């Protein structure tokens, strides 16, 4: 089974199935299609599938032109999971959020696997790309596959290859970002490497799926811990009347032993705020507590409260209470220049400000209307920025520093600016750094 699969992949005659057509899955669709594979895209969201059939993208950094070209090359989006049997390789790219107790929620992965199981056949490769804790691929996916009578490593091949997408970063693409791949067995690893070598410049094989799973967690927890450090430093620097951004710029001139990380209003995105909880949960199974990681998480989680306190102080200095104040949020995406709102700290800030009696509005050129997220409902659309509009708000709170904003116009017309991103380097009496 192994050699025919590898030959099929290397000749690019294999059919590739991508399960989950979001920020991770859709770029993979385009890359596999670009090099000549026939691609099936599976999603449970009918509206997504209809958009793709029409050649229209719903993700800002993925162009509709690219979707239309992939469609012309044979890319087929579908909600019909019965077609999974047509695929020689199935790549699972579904969310792995937290539940209400901040523990791992594998329901999307497990439900996807249960949906695929009736359609699995000998000779297929299954790759999980969703971020998760070490042991998931072996303990959850392998056991389910083998319960159906397949022998993993002989009949069916199973790998874990964590996604490394960075939406909005034009410096790196799906092709150029090195790809970690761990196999359940040596045969599985061979199959996984053969799959990804067709579309990725550098594939990095590791000894097991558990190594690959922990590698992904380390990458993101490394970032979360360092952001927690610089967020705490920001609070200390602010109390000392020192500009932390000037400090970071100065420290970054050191050519060794220092990497700059930047503070903000909290952590956002699907991975960085969530991955520490996946490791914490798994570490408990071994009687361990990840104290250092948990402390960084506490610091980052407290940042929205710190920002709200800065808004309150800034308004109080002008003789105004936060109750009844009008606050314009600049940027509600979790990072600059994208339309991704997953775990955005801006949403937390909007909730907190509204609960304290502030009238909240937002402006984000990448998100024209506020979508429904979990239980957070703001029936509003993005405000178009102009001098007259800016001057009507008591406070402008910069939470996501999109390049598209006209910062000079904002500076010259806003009554009060609370800057959480260090965008304004000059000193102005109406600009408060938070």
By annotation, the residues acting in catalysis are: 271
- Check: CB of residue 331 under 8 Å from CB of residue 398: yes
Spatial distance between the Cα atoms of 11 and 37, rounded to a whole number of angstroms: 9
Spatial distance between the Cα atoms of 162 and 182, rounded to a whole number of angstroms: 9
What residues are paired with 204 via a beta bridge?
A: 180
Which residues of 112-245 form beta strands (DSSP E)?
125-128, 157-160, 179-183, 203-206
Cα→Cα distances 351→144, 222, 333, 376, Å:
41, 29, 15, 8
Q: What is the CA radius of gyration of the chain?
A: 24
Spatial distance between the Cα atoms of 370 and 379, rounded to a whole number of angstroms: 7
Spatial distance between the Cα atoms of 282 and 287, rounded to a whole number of angstroms: 9
Please, which residues have CB within 8 angstroms of residue 314's CB and are 6 or more apart in sequence?
A: 395, 416, 418, 432
Give, for 398, the enclosing helix (H) or strand (E). Answer: strand 395-398
Spatial distance between the Cα atoms of 243 and 236, rounded to a whole number of angstroms: 10
- Check: CB of residue 405 under 8 Å from CB of residue 329: no
The three-class DSSP label of residue 78 is strand
Q: Is the dihedral of CA 406, 340, 204, 259 positive or negative?
A: positive
- Pinpoint the alpha helices (H) of 133-208: 136, 143-147, 186-196
- Check: CB of residue 302 under 8 Å from CB of residue 263: no
Report helix, strand and coil shares of the chain as percent, to nearest 5. Answer: 40, 15, 45
**Of 204, 174, 138, nearest to 25 (Cα)?**
174
What residues are paired with 18 via a beta bridge?
A: 41, 91
């Amino acid at each position: 089974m192994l050699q025919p699969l590898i030959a099929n992949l290397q000749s690019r005659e294999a059919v590739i199935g991508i399960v989950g057509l979001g920020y991770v899955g859709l770029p993979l669709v385009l890359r596999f299609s670009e090099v000549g594979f026939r691609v099936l895209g599976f999603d449970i969201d009918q509206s997504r599938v209809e958009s793709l059939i029409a050649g229209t993208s719903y993700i800002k950094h993925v162009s509709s032109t690219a979707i239309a070209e992939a469609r012309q090359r044979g890319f087929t989006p579908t909600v019909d999971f019965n077609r999974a049997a047509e695929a020689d390789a199935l790549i699972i790219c579904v969310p792995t959020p937290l539940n209400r107790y901040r523990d791992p929620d594998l329901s999307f992965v497990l439900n996807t696997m249960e949906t695929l199981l009736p359609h699995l056949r000998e000779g297929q490769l299954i790759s999980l790309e969703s971020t998760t804790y070490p042991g998931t691929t072996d303990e959850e996916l392998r056991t389910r596959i083998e319960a159906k009578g397949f022998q993993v490593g002989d009949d069916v091949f199973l790998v874990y290859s964590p996604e490394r997408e960075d939406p909005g970063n034009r410096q790196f693409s799906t092709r150029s970002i090195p790809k970690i791949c761990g196999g359940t067995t040596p045969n599985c690893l061979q199959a996984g490497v053969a799959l990804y070598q067709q579309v990725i410049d550098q594939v990095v094989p590791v000894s097991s799926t558990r190594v690959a799973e922990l590698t992904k967690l380390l990458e993101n927890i490394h970032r979360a811990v360092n952001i927690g450090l610089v967020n705490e430093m920001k609070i200390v620097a602010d109390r000392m009347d020192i500009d932390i951004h000037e400090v970071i710029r100065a420290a970054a001139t050191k050519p060794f032993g220092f990497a700059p990380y930047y503070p903000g209003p909290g952590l956002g995105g699907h991975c960085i705020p969530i991955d520490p909880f996946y490791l914490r949960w798994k570490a408990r199974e071994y009687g361990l507590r990840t104290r250092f990681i948990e402390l960084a998480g506490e610091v980052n989680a407290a940042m929205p409260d710190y920002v709200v306190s800065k808004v309150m102080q800034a308004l109080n200095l002008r003789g105004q209470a936060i109750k009844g104040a009008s606050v314009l949020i600049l940027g509600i995406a979790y990072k600059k220049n994208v339309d991704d709102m997953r775990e955005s700290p801006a949403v937390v800030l909007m909730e907190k400000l509204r609960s304290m009696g502030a009238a909240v509005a937002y402006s984000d050129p990448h998100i024209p209307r506020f979508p429904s997220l979990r239980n957070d409902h703001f029936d509003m659309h993005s405000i178009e920025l102009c001098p007259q509009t800016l001057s009507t708000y008591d406070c402008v709170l910069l939470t996501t520093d999109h390049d598209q904003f006209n910062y000079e116009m904002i500076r010259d017309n806003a009554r009060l600016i609370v800057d959480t991103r260090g965008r304004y380097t000059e000193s102005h009496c109406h600009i408060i750094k938070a």
